[in-house]
A and B are shown apart, each in its own frame.
Chain A
Amino acid sequence: MTVIGWQGLTLNSLVLLGLVFLSHTPFKLYRSLIVVMIWMGLFYGLAAGWVWPENRAVWQGHWSQEGLLQAIIMLWRVILVFGLTRLFTAVTMPLEQGSGIAYFLNPLIPITPKAADFALLLTLTLRFIPLIIEEATLIWKVRALKGEWPSSWLERSRELIQLIVPLILLSLRRAEELAENLTLRGYASGNYRTLMMHERTSQDRVGAVILGCWIFVLLVLK
């Protein structure tokens, strides 16, 4: 479903604003959207708003009102997608995102064990990133403690490459440890199931109803 009408877009925008207020996230988080808005606006404005007759040069064209309106609608949609994504990442930890994705993949597991593997892969990847960042920070610290960086760019890049080798070795070691830990807890392909501790509450049900209604209204309004 693609929302293209101004009514649907307005409704989505109001919902986004409502969610931003409810989440108590600071507005500065969304500052980067301004840069996106300017660049995307310029791109869409030019791509859709500037038209020229057939067999004539580009500079012999003119601005089209219809094209500019189309550009505004496209920009509006992009901003909504960016805004919702920004809000989602601001209020949801990466690990929770992984867990959520794995949870939604749960119904597919009886169809194919690959879904379980994929779900575990996602959660482990998300879990592994902070571990690797920690190791990289340590390697960086070790290098910083060994004294000044060389002044020449060539020497500097040579040293940087030299640092990548121990980092790769450490990452491989950590990955192996993780795989071994999985084996030691009895993991076999297709076994993975997420564990949500909470039963569904009335709040969850209310949330699901609101989401359903919203989708229905959007379907009507487009």
Chain B
Amino acid sequence: MKILKVRDIHYRDILNGVNIDWHQGEVIALMGANGSGKSTLARLLVGLTEPDHGEISLIVDGSPCAWNKVKRWQEIGLVGQHPMRQTIGVTVAEELGFGLLNLGLDTLEVRRKVKELASFVGLAGKEDQSPATLSGGERQRLVTAAILALQPSFLILDEGLTMLDARAQANVLKLLFQARAETGQLWITHDIELASHADRLLVLEHGKLVDKGIPREAFSSKELYALYGPSGKRSGHQVETMSNERVTHPVIESKNSSRPVLEWKQTNFSTRLQLNKAVKAGEFIGIVGPSGSGKTTLLESAIGLIMPTEGQILGFGAPITKVILNDWRKEVRLVLQEAGEYLIGRTAYQEVYFGEAKRELENNRSSRLSYLGKFGLVGNLLDYAPEQLSGGERQRVALAAALRTNPEILLMDEPLLGLDSASRRRIQTMISELKDITIMYVTHDLRDVLQDADRLWLVEGGKVVLDCSKQCWKEHLEQFRAAGVRF
């Protein structure tokens, strides 16, 4: 039995005396706000960063081991959030065998183990394929299996399941549960459902770890649930009783609300997407579906990032062609997935008003403060470089940039991805308060859109296979579940 003892760890002003005893075989859920230091703690534990002060030690069967002599990569594995950015190998086999070869195992032995592992994670026959050809869920399973193959005594999942749909998440969880007996696991997450599966809940607050005990019991406390749980607005039960508060924009009304603002007429986008749908002015369409089903492609088609190979897209009744794309993009705005990662302005303020000359930016600044304030972008925050902002702040900057031209259609691709509960709630409230605008909102979690959506589209295999009103979503519960949609 191994125990990882962490004592009085300090790191810059992020961690301020962290203590923890982590036992082999124990599953711990670690929660906390964006920027609270969860990932920093994970990096310290695996040895990617050294603490300013404090001690980490490994106890094996009651005897302490010198930490500087422990092969940390062998003892503690780390699985990150992005399946795409964690693969090393040229092929699936090399990915699975890379660590094993580094352990010094014989090539024949590694080949045998790789075959076993590939079949164990459902990738048998794909050993010679590039990891890039796998879906996000398959890649995450591959990386998790490659780390677990090293038989680490401890495993950290830093939001390792966030980007996965329900089906893919269940598959990775199955892998983790199988390794539970011999591996201590630390799940860094914002998802209380996932956290509920853990043995113990730790919360990182003000640079210190607070032990909240058994997660299910801890979440029964209203205070903790309010802090880390989803907002009440996300509950599907409340949706049925709520009235539709969204108001139609007068401008949109004047463009004839009975006519669709956006229409795909028998469109084909190579083999990626086939659509024959229309969106009316002021509608809120929640688009759900499993990873790789074509949700993002659908939004890209709406803004003209990809053009149809067959059929036509109409915007306000007129065909959208390359000639009118610049004008069309003034009416339609897209908030990309992980928009906060791709801010190209030098500062938050310049990002929102990208493209303006320096003088224009300076002269108009004071008159724009009230608009920026609505997004919580105030004071010095406006002059921060994007990389200095937290995840939630960056997402708000992206939203402010998308809305500053008063677009008539807003397209959003997983705008709450990777955000903590407070940031999620704040951004969700902002989205709910958006009146006078047509919204298409992509997510793999139905709860994100149940509050506001007028209609729900289920996308599978590049097609909208279900189009229903939010009132009757429960009639299609099984279809959503089978598609791997979270709810």
Residues of chain A at the chain B interface (Cβ within 8 Å): 93, 95-96, 98-99, 123-124, 126-127, 130-131, 134, 138-139, 141-148, 150, 159, 162-163, 166, 169-170, 174, 177-178, 180-188, 191-195, 197
Judge whether B343 and A186 touch: CB under 8 Å. Answer: no
| Among all A-B residue pairs, the 8 with the closest Cβ atoms | A186-B102, A185-B99, A195-B97, A186-B73, A95-B90, A148-B326, A197-B93, A99-B90
Chain B CB count within 10 A is highest, among A163, A180, A181, A195, for: A195
List 23 A-B residue pairs with CB atoms under 8 Å apart, sorted by A's residue number.
Answer: A98-B90, A127-B88, A131-B84, A138-B336, A141-B336, A142-B336, A144-B329, A145-B333, A147-B329, A159-B355, A163-B344, A170-B342, A177-B80, A181-B87, A183-B48, A184-B48, A184-B147, A185-B150, A187-B98, A195-B89, A195-B98, A195-B107, A197-B127
Are A145 and B107 also in contact (CB < 8 A) when A99-B91, A139-B344 are?
no
Residues 86-113 of chain B, each 1 if its beta carbon lies under 8 Å from chain A, else 0: 1111110110011101110001001100
Are A142 and B344 also in contact (CB < 8 A) when A95-B130, A147-B326, A184-B46 are?
yes
Judge whether B73 and A145 touch: CB under 8 Å. Answer: no
Judge whether A195 and B88 touch: CB under 8 Å. Answer: no
Judge whether B101 and A191 touch: CB under 8 Å. Answer: yes
What total of chain B residues lie within 8 Å of the partner, measured CB to CB? 54
Judge whether A193 and B354 touch: CB under 8 Å. Answer: no
Judge whether A197 and B334 touch: CB under 8 Å. Answer: no
Please, which residues of chain B bring their CB within 8 A of the CB of A145? 303, 305, 329, 333-334, 336
Are A143 and B90 also in contact (CB < 8 A) when A185-B146, A191-B101 are?
no
| Min CB gap A18→B, angstroms | 26
Give CA–CA (A93, B132) in the complex, Å: 12
Q: Which residue of B lies closest to A120 (CB)?
A: B88
Give CA–CA (A194, B98) in the complex, Å: 8
Residues 354-371 of chain B, each 1 if its beta carbon lies under 8 Å from chain A, else 0: 110000000000000000
Residues 240-276 of chain B, each 1 if its beta carbon lies under 8 Å from chain A, else 0: 0000000000000000000000000000000000000
Are A166 and B107 also in contact (CB < 8 A) when A145-B303, A147-B326, A181-B88 are?
no
Are A187 and B102 also in contact (CB < 8 A) when A139-B342, A147-B330 are?
yes
Please, which residues of chain B bring their CB within 8 A of the CB of A138? 336, 342
Q: Does B77 contact A (CB under 8 A)?
A: yes
Give CA–CA (A188, B71) in the complex, Å: 12
| Min CB gap B115→A, angstroms | 8
Please, which residues of chain A bring their CB within 8 A of the CB of B99? 185-186
Are A197 and B336 also in contact (CB < 8 A) when A123-B90, A166-B343 are?
no
Judge whether A184 and B78 touch: CB under 8 Å. Answer: yes
Considering only residues 389-440 of chain B, those with a C-beta below 8 Å from chain A are: 401
Please, which residues of chain B bring their CB within 8 A of the CB of A166? 342-344
Q: Which residue of A lies closest to B101 (CB)?
A: A193
Judge whether B355 and A150 touch: CB under 8 Å. Answer: yes
Q: Does B471 contact A (CB under 8 A)?
A: no
Judge whether B342 and A142 touch: CB under 8 Å. Answer: yes
| Min CB gap A56→B, angstroms | 59
Please, which residues of chain A bring their CB within 8 A of the CB of B84? 131, 134
Give CA–CA (A146, B303) in the complex, Å: 12
| Min CB gap B263→A, angstroms | 21
Judge whether B85 and A180 touch: CB under 8 Å. Answer: no
Q: Which residue of A lies closest to B344 (CB)?
A: A166
Judge whether B132 and A184 touch: CB under 8 Å. Answer: no
Judge whether B102 and A191 touch: CB under 8 Å. Answer: yes
Give CA–CA (A113, B86) in the complex, Å: 25
Assuming A163-B344, A195-B110, what are 9 further A-B pairs, CB within 8 angstroms? A124-B88, A139-B344, A144-B329, A145-B336, A148-B326, A178-B85, A188-B102, A195-B91, A195-B94
Give CA–CA (A183, B43) in the complex, Å: 12
Judge whether A186 and B71 touch: CB under 8 Å. Answer: yes
Please, which residues of chain A bring their CB within 8 A of the CB of B127? 197
Please, which residues of chain B bring their CB within 8 A of the CB of A174? 85
Judge whether B354 and A184 touch: CB under 8 Å. Answer: no
| Min CB gap A98→B, angstroms | 6
Judge whether B73 and A143 touch: CB under 8 Å. Answer: no
Chain A CB count within 10 A is highest, among B73, B150, B334, for: B73
Q: Does B128 contact A (CB under 8 A)?
A: yes
Q: Does B135 contact A (CB under 8 A)?
A: no
Are A162 and B114 also in contact (CB < 8 A) when A123-B90, A181-B88, A187-B102 are?
no
Judge whether A195 and B336 touch: CB under 8 Å. Answer: no
Give CA–CA (A196, B139) in the complex, Å: 20
Please, which residues of chain B bring their CB within 8 A of the CB of A195? 89, 91, 93-94, 97-98, 101, 107, 110-111, 114
Judge whether B132 and A130 touch: CB under 8 Å. Answer: yes
Give CA–CA (A51, B99) in the complex, Å: 63
| Min CB gap A159→B, angstroms | 8
Please, which residues of chain A bring their CB within 8 A of the CB of B310? none
Give CA–CA (A183, B130) in the complex, Å: 21
Q: Which residue of A lies closest to B342 (CB)?
A: A142
| Min CB gap B244→A, angstroms | 29
